């Protein structure tokens, strides 16, 4: 079969500077990819797409920050009576408990020998119990933004009446002190607009084939032949193959409107519940790092849960009282500006800490057992090793 000569078209650049030029095998006609189709439609919704809704004039796409809440409807919290005086101390742990805790710690380390934990002689155990005060402030915040979704017959209610204010829209009842979020479509803000991404067509030119529906055959590189005069069987001698991304159509369904051509545009309200927590740990002189205590629990001595708590008074450790006064003031001043406080909770725990001194092979060592979980900190454990590959 004789090959057909390649026919040029007047006014078209067929040199190597043409972005569609594809080199072919020697003695074969060159193939040209179609010109790249420019993308249709803006990448972001235009401002004219959003209506001017009463009460939501400052709402923008992507959100515009949290909206200030209305004034609290509950009266301010009244001072609570002084704390009862419970048993402020925790009995010291036994030597067996201290040794078992160290053995469990060593077992969790792949290279530690258990010999010091088993055979070491405990010479001293000293308690350094300390207090931890924690304040939780559970808040609700609200923000609005313009949003859209493919239009499939949803209710269109824009301007049917004035939309309710963002803090007047009912939301679900949250579980206190657990973070959560809810999205709500603001009533009377929904309208239908042509899709900005595809200009209401429902489809976009395929990027993989530049809208042609086919691409240069990867087997023959567009030459139509594989070896000599053997016609390429992959593309049946066409030099091109159907685009697998668009199945030869040259366009793909718009991923914004899902091919529906229209969008339901509305204001989306985001309701966010957050548990804001701060803690204070009374300084102890044991040598144990304070950050270790954040991983353990203690014996709960006091719990106060109200709409708004009042700073502690009457606690035997004055530093805890000062921390309570400071944190309560900071939380109420900080979170009432941008959110609504739904509940506050303050807790005092007594965290057990025992400093254990022991000897092994004539040398003195220490470790700490702390928390209700009997966690161990043993930075200078004497029988560690490094695994090496010979």
Q: Are 281 and 134 in contact (CB under 8 A)?
A: no
Cα separation, 340 vs 137, whole angstroms: 10
| Minimum mean pLDDT range among 9-18, 44-53, 264-273 | 9-18
pLDDT tens, position by position, 36-58: 444 445 667 888 888 889 888 88
Whose tokens are 């201290």? That residue is 98
Query: Residue 307 contacts by C-beta under 8 Å, 6 or more apart in sequence?
Result: 74, 77, 341, 342, 343, 344
DSSP 207-225: TTTTTSSEEE-TTTTTSSB
pLDDT tens, position by position, 281-308: 998 889 999 999 999 999 999 999 999 9
pLDDT band at 24 (very low <50, low <70, confident <90, very high): very low
The total of other beta-carbon atoms located within 10 Å of residue 331's CB is 22
pLDDT at residue 385 in the model: 75
The dihedrals phi and psi of 81, each to the nearest 5 degrees, come to -65, 160
pLDDT tens, position by position, 135-182: 999 999 999 999 999 999 999 999 999 999 999 999 999 999 999 999
pLDDT at residue 280 in the model: 97
With CA atoms as reference, report the closest residue to 55 among 171, 185, 161, 181.
161
Cα separation, 30 vs 292, whole angstroms: 71
pLDDT tens, position by position, 345-376: 999 999 999 999 999 999 999 999 999 999 99
Percentage of residues in the chain having pLDDT higher than 70 = 82
| Minimum mean pLDDT range among 60-74, 320-334, 344-358 | 60-74
pLDDT at residue 254 in the model: 97
pLDDT band at 89 (very low <50, low <70, confident <90, very high): low
Stated pTM of the model: 0.76
């Amino acid at each position: 079969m004789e090959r057909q000569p390649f026919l040029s078209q007047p006014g078209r650049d067929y040199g190597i500077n043409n972005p569609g030029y594809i080199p072919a095998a020697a003695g074969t006609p060159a193939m040209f990819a179609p010109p790249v189709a420019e993308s249709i439609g803006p990448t972001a919704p235009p401002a004219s797409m959003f209506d001017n809704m009463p009460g939501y004039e400052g709402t923008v796409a992507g959100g515009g920050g949290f909206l200030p809440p209305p004034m609290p409807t509950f009266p301010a919290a009244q001072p609570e009576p002084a704390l009862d005086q419970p048993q402020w101390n925790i009995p010291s742990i036994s030597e067996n408990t201290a040794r078992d805790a160290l053995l469990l710690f060593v077992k969790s380390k792949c290279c530690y020998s258990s010999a010091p934990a088993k055979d070491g002689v405990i010479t001293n155990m000293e308690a350094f119990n300390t207090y931890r005060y924690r304040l939780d402030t559970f808040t609700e915040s609200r923000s609005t933004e313009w949003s859209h979704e493919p239009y499939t017959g949803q209710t269109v209610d824009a301007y049917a009446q004035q939309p309710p204010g963002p803090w007047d829209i009912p939301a679900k009842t949250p579980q206190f002190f657990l973070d959560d979020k809810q999205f709500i479509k603001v009533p009377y803000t929904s309208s239908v607009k042509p899709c900005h991404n595809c200009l209401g067509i429902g489809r976009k030119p395929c990027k993989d084939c530049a809208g042609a529906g086919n691409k240069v055959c990867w087997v023959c590189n567009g030459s139509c032949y594989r070896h000599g005069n053997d016609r390429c069987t992959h593309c049946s001698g066409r030099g091109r193959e159907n685009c697998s991304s668009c199945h030869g159509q040259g366009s793909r369904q718009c991923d914004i409107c899902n091919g529906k051509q229209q969008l339901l545009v509305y204001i989306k309200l985001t309701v966010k519940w957050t548990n804001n927590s701060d803690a204070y740990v009374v300084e102890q002189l044991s040598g144990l790092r304070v950050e270790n205590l954040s991983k353990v629990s203690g014996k709960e001595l006091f719990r106060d849960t109200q709409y708004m708590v009042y700073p502690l008074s009457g606690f035997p450790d004055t530093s805890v009282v000062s921390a309570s006064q400071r944190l309560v003031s900071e939380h109420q001043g900080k979170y009432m500006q941008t959110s609504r406080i739904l509940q506050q909770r303050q807790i005092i725990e007594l965290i057990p800490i025992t400093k254990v001194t022991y000897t092994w092979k004539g040398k003195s060592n220490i470790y700490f057992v702390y928390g209700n979980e009997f966690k161990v900190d043993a930075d200078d454990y004497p029988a560690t090793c490094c695994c090496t590959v010979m």
